[in-house]
Structure 1
């Protein structure tokens, strides 16, 4: 065999081996990609259905509560009942009463007389629903109205799909299943496609796109999610034709890129772990003001997830996910670190100021947080009494296990407050059993105090309960001077809310304190 033929044969064998390896790698990579992407859409659609069922459940519960109202509609007592139901449920924006086919009064607008539009769909149990548009011309948005009997609840349809997207190509829609009416959908979603998917008996399936249909077993609603098929299934021959000329050189590089790409597939857990590794969880501070002096005496640290593009994710979105994934502890540690990096030096200078840190249920399982905090206190020269802690009321129901932990925090020199007090199972005996220094009155109890209206009737009882136990009180969500005056006259010591300032980054909070100090010097 001539040297030329030997070289050609060797080249063909090597080229075949490289091409075979490259083909296997491409096919394997695409198979893994499809499986992972399909799983991602499946999980995402299931999360969307859980949120849709939660919102629907609130509407159902609110309307069934109102059905039992026995007296004359649209009286002062009835209007107060409508407002109470609106405040009770997180996703309900307005509650109204009807007679025949006309709207007679609502929790937001009082007495009205408006003809009701025909329902877009009906379903078992006497429920009807329709959309209406609100807002100024050119900036309208739709609201969902659900009616049962003589009452209507109004919900922002965006609540049905208020979840963090895993990528920018997934499309999502919530429909009712009897008539195929769209309840809520993401922008640029094709209604005709999702209605057609709803009629299919098998799910998931491919038809130019990857479709998943999740039907609720509790309500006549379904979630349809779809993603372009080319994101799931790639054109393998085209890839091979492109890679064939440089195959001998690029086969190893291609394998490395595939492995790297596989590691970086996005899932909720990976996204959160990446945020923790990159220290993207930061503390914003909302000033806490003394109602007697009107001066700032501290701040509450509120966690924000700051993404690489500068977008801020609110805690309501990611805290439940972090707790379910058992990642809340490293986030708490980052909040503590962020607080001290931002305002630790200021706390060392201003012994009259404090910062409140929120404790999750996992943080109350032991005293790990104290060990984390101890190093920061020593490093920045901050006193323990300048760090307060807040625990949500529902995490303290088991007083036998939570009381010793809270006592350890107090023994270390920290004050303990019960956050969102009044929204759980508040009672005098419950408070007496817990070693706490104060309570925070939930913002929902202050919403009714506006021009000409009375404070929620629960507030005086909460204040009296706290005073009887000699507990400090902080009112959340104070937005008007009338609210502040009401609380001041009844002995509430502290307040926070938009009347004074919104939550802000640490550098803005330092400037806020400088401006306050300058005003004090001028007076």
Structure 2
């Protein structure tokens, strides 16, 4: 009886401890997840404000440049001056002159005679602004007019929010701060909600089922408001606890036994990784990259794997964050480079149409050390530099001023540079223009909805259009179905990788994959 009581007591104590720990971990995890999502919205809204301030600043600069003009208005000389200002500023779509009551001439239409509408709002130093509709009936576009003195500049309000969406549910609006007038907004933004958010005193908060961030400009009377649905920002904790209760009780004893059993065998993470480096256990697996036009393999992405002594494989998500925090990424990168050339260096030398992409960690982008590591292998295996591509994760390139010279050095050495997981950070058209890159990799999270009967992911077409406008190559990650591949092919994406074609595999399996593909091509 005593032993049974002891066993029962021990079980209850352990179960309570495991359940309490699990619930605390769920709560902490949710809190961290919510904090990260809120930080993302905060950074995103700040970027939107920087864009809005940039457009507003151009309007002011253009009008100040026109102020000193003192000759007769609407003459050929004056119209030429208006057109020059329009061409000089990227966000200005038209420049006009008014006598105070009517518009008399413009850079695009020459002489006009249009009544001047009353301003929707005014702000310091004599600036006024109002919206107008342009275009044919049924296809009108809303434009913003800003006036100083007798000159007016016309801006497409869409420029105020020309940034890549953070996700499918976030909404943005730019308002003037005097009366809450909407300057520009995304299509589904609720004007009533954003005006209500403007009246509140706190910068960020939850109300009416949404999380809001209000970014006020210190330079201009404008404010950017971003909001997300509350259920996307934080989870229903009571429902999670109810779901976890029974599994937690069942697994508590087993989990406790496993922890105690393995505790004796565990080593510190640093020693384990150092031992793996010493034993050269970090190897490259290769996932084929396919041309969407021809359907043939044109290369592969090298993905690091940790091959333990017992033959088991550890995925990079398990050890790379730890290696980065311990400053051990560089020797792992070196082993991946050697593993790639040992595995497929010979076939790269025979087939100049193939390439291998190597991933660069944040520390790898601090300088050109990787190029020095690469040179001996290129010479030994007679591989051309253009057959080795590099991929840099988007979040590591936020400091464009620091990253651009390093990326330029890689390109000068003959390598192509791609931005990996594109769209998951805070990129925009101007961001891409500042970086010397050859292409982007569209993150797999945006590919899932393509051709699957779900609501179309709104981000993918935007990313494709952005890349095409800059003449960048595109690689789609995570392609799993033929409808997805068909959609990407029809929209001009050049390359794809994913389980539709092949999973990541060791080098010897990749060589067999190439042989089988060559055999199929010969039969065809």
TM range (shorter): 0.5 to 0.7
What secondary structure is seen at the aligned counterpart in 1 of 2:252?
Answer: coil
2:380 is aligned with 1:397:
no
- For 1:484 and 1:305, the matched residues in 2 are separated by 31
Structure 1 residues 325, 292: CA separation in 2 closer, same or farther (over 3 Å shift)?
Answer: same
- Equivalent residue number for residue 452 of structure 1: 453
Structure 1's unaligned 5+ residue stretches are 1-44, 66-82, 87-124, 126-147, 158-174, 195-208, 210-224, 233-263
Q: How far off its partner does 1:273 sit?
A: 0.4
1:83-482 aligned within 5 A: 182=245, 189-190=252-253, 227=260, 266-482=267-483
Give me the whole-angstrom Cα distance separating, in 2, the residues matched to 1:520 and 1:327.
43
- The whole-number CA distance in structure 1 between the counterparts of 2:511 and 2:249 is 39
Q: Distance in 2 between matches of 1:503 and 1:395?
A: 24
Instruction: Say which SS state the counterpart of residue 456 (structure 2) adopts.
Output: coil
Moved over 4 A (4+): 45-52, 59-63, 83-86, 148-155, 179-188
Matched residues in 2 for 1:491 and 1:377: separation? Answer: 32
The CA distance in 2 between the partners of 1:466 and 1:150, in whole Å, is 29
**1:504 matched to 2:505:** yes
Distance in 2 (alpha carbons) for counterparts of 1:505 and 1:338? 10
Q: Is the 8 A contact 1:445 1:455 kept in 2?
A: no
SS across alignment from 2:365: helix
What is the distance in 1 between the residues matched to 2:231 and 2:333? 47
Give the Cα separation in 1 of the matches to 2:315 and 2:370. Answer: 23
Paired residue secondary structure (1:190)? helix
Alpha-carbon distance in 2 for matches of 1:85, 1:472: 28
Contact map agreement 2:476 2:493 (CA 8 A) in 1? yes
Mapped contact 1:446–1:455 kept (Cα < 8 A): no
Name the CA distance, whole Å, in 2 between partners of 1:491 and 1:424: 23
- Partner deviation per Cα, 1:190-243 (whole Å, 9 max, x = no partner): 29x98xxxxxxxxxxxxxx9xxxxxxxxxxxxxxx9637x988xxxxxxxxxxx
Tell me whether 453-462 or 340-349 shows the greater mean CA deviation.
453-462
- Are residues 187 and 369 of structure 1, via their aligned partners in 2, closer, same or farther at CA, if it must alter by over 3 Å? farther
Match of 2:70 in 1: none
The two structures have a TM-score, normalised by structure 1, of 0.55
Deviations 1:396-441 (A, max 9, x none): 0001110000000000000000000000011011000000000000
**Whole-Å separation in 2 of the counterparts to 1:283 and 1:405:** 24
How far apart in 1 are the matches of 2:22 and 2:280? 26
Residues matched between the structures, number: 322
Q: Is the 8 A contact 1:283 1:505 kept in 2?
A: yes
Cα distance in 2 between the residues matched to 1:268 and 1:488: 44
Mapped partners of 1:84, 1:398: distance in 2: 26
Taking the aligned partners of 2:263 and 2:455, their CA distance within structure 1 comes to: 56
CA deviation map 1:291-327 (0-9, x unaligned): 0000000000000111111111111111100000000
Are 2:450 and 2:487, in contact at CA under 8 Å, matched by a contact in 1? no
Which residue of 47, 50, 58 corresponds with 2:33?
A: 58
**RMSD of equivalent CA atoms:** 4.0
- How far apart are residue 508 of structure 1 and its match? 0.4
1:449 Cα deviation after fit: 2.0
Name the CA distance, whole Å, in 2 between partners of 1:430 and 1:293: 32
TM (norm. structure 2) is 0.55
The SS at the match of 1:227 is helix
Please give the alpha-carbon distance, in whole angstroms, between the structure 1 residues aligned to 2:477 and 2:243. 42
Distance 2:456 2:482 in 1: 13
Taking a change above 3 Å as real, the CA distance of residues 274 and 180 of structure 1, as seen in their structure-2 partners, is same
Identify if the C-alpha distance between structure 1 residues 456 and 188 changes in structure 2 by more than 3 Å, giving closer, same or farther: closer
Distance 1:449 1:271 in 2: 41
The 3 A distance-change label for structure 1 pair 85 and 267 is farther
- 1:51 deviates by 8.4
Distance 1:50 1:352, change over 3 A: farther
Q: Secondary structure at the match of 1:287?
A: strand
Gaps of 5+ in 2: 1-19, 41-166, 171-206, 208-229
Q: Partners in 2 of 1:48 and 1:400 — Cα distance? A: 44
Determine the C-alpha separation between the residues in 2 that align with 1:149 and 1:371: 49
Query: Alpha-carbon deviations, 1:4-62, whole Å to 9, x = none?
Result: xxxxxxxxxxxxxxxxxxxxxxxxxxxxxxxxxxxxxxxxx999977873355437988
